[in-house]
């Protein structure tokens, strides 16, 4: 397994990370044992960087991940997140964000218990809380690090101003934000900033929530429980227009004997050495396919061709509904 380092602190992880959100977010995970087997299979393939969050469930996902990695806890890095307004006694999601120091402490203590561990390798603030100064958030995490409960501090979907403030108080190891061939906004300001500060990028949805696999056409119907059914970018009209990006990926994929998903992941890793894509899958065969991206070596000519062609493709539709977008980039 190829490795990459996150941040100046030198946290070394597998070059691809497995996101466990899709393994179940309800109070009960019906296929829990099957999903645990997927996590353990990923470890057998060399993946040692796993991502979860307090809010996934809440709580059931962290408990599942903790059970899955228990046999090899000291050989993996676990990332989890705090920052939503969750009742720490009942687990009820009360809506909105909450990064008050007491809430952060309670959340981290709960995560430690659910994960069955003495420390969290990487603790992200899931979304910026506009009512809590970033200096207070970073200061609280710094105290938790001094106590040995957290080893590295991260931010998720934070804007440049929040990143600067947090990093000035406590070194930020990684930023988790959406970034892919069809979500390239971080290139304007965020990536140059974190490169300057020595912060890694862990891009979630590197396959565009499945679209960049080439398996979602304009006729795909989404269930009521599927968030994509509410995302403007996944409207039938937008998917039909955005198919041009899949055609581009297919062209490069055929050249390398690869799949569109593998090319999309390889493109991300080729952008910067401090980028560690975070993908999710419920199937071992898809996990194998995604890990195959590590063997796809895009040439300079490939990257130039992708860049020139992508510049002519206008991606239609917002990446999230407005109520979710407003929580990002602060």
Parallel/antiparallel/unpaired status of strands 49-51 and 17-19: parallel
Residue showing tokens 């709580």 = 59
First and final C-alpha spacing in the chain: 35
The verdict on whether 204 is a catalytic residue reads no
Dist CA 161 CA 329 (whole Å) = 9
Tokens (6 digits) for 146: 């001094």
Q: Which of 2, 78, 76 is nearest to 43 (CA)?
A: 76
Catalytic residue among 23, 56, 179, 204: 56
Instruction: Give yes or no for a contact between 62 and 108, defined as CB atoms under 8 angstroms apart.
Output: no
**317 Cβ contact list (under 8 Å, min separation 6):** 231, 232, 233, 234, 235, 238, 242
Q: Annotated catalytic sites, by residue? A: 56
């Amino acid at each position: 397994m190829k490795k990459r380092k996150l941040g100046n602190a030198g946290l070394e992880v597998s070059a691809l990370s497995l996101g466990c959100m899709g393994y179940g977010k309800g109070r009960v995970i019906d296929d829990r044992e099957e999903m645990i087997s997927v996590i353990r299979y990923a470890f057998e393939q060399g993946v040692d960087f796993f991502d979860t969050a307090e809010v996934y469930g809440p709580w059931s996902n962290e408990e599942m991940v903790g059970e899955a990695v228990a046999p090899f806890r000291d050989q993996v890095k676990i990332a989890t997140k705090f920052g939503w307004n969750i009742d720490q006694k009942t687990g009820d999601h009360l809506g909105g964000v909450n990064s008050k120091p007491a809430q952060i402490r309670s959340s981290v203590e709960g995560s430690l218990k659910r994960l069955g561990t003495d420390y969290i390798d990487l603790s992200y603030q899931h979304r910026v809380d506009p009512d809590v100064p970033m200096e207070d958030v970073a200061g609280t995490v710094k105290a938790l690090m001094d106590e040995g409960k957290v080893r590295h501090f991260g931010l998720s979907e934070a804007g440049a101003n929040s990143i600067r403030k947090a990093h000035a108080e406590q070194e930020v190891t990684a930023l988790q934000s959406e970034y892919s061939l069809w979500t390239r906004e971080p290139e304007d300001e965020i990536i140059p900033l974190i490169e300057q500060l020595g912060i890694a990028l862990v891009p979630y949805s590197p396959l565009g929530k499945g679209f960049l696999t080439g398996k979602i056409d304009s006729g795909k119907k989404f269930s009521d429980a599927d968030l994509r059914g509410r995302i403007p970018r996944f409207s039938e009209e937008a998917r039909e227009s955005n198919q041009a990006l899949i055609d581009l990926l297919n062209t490069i994929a055929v050249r390398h004997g690869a799949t569109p998903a593998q090319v999309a992941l390889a493109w991300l890793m080729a952008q910067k050495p401090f980028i560690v894509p975070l993908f999710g899958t419920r199937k071992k065969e898809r996990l194998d396919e995604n890990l195959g991206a590590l063997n796809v070596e895009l040439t300079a000519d490939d990257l130039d061709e992708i860049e020139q062609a992508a510049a002519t493709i206008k991606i239609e539709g917002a990446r999230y509904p407005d109520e979710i977008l407003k929580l990002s980039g602060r």
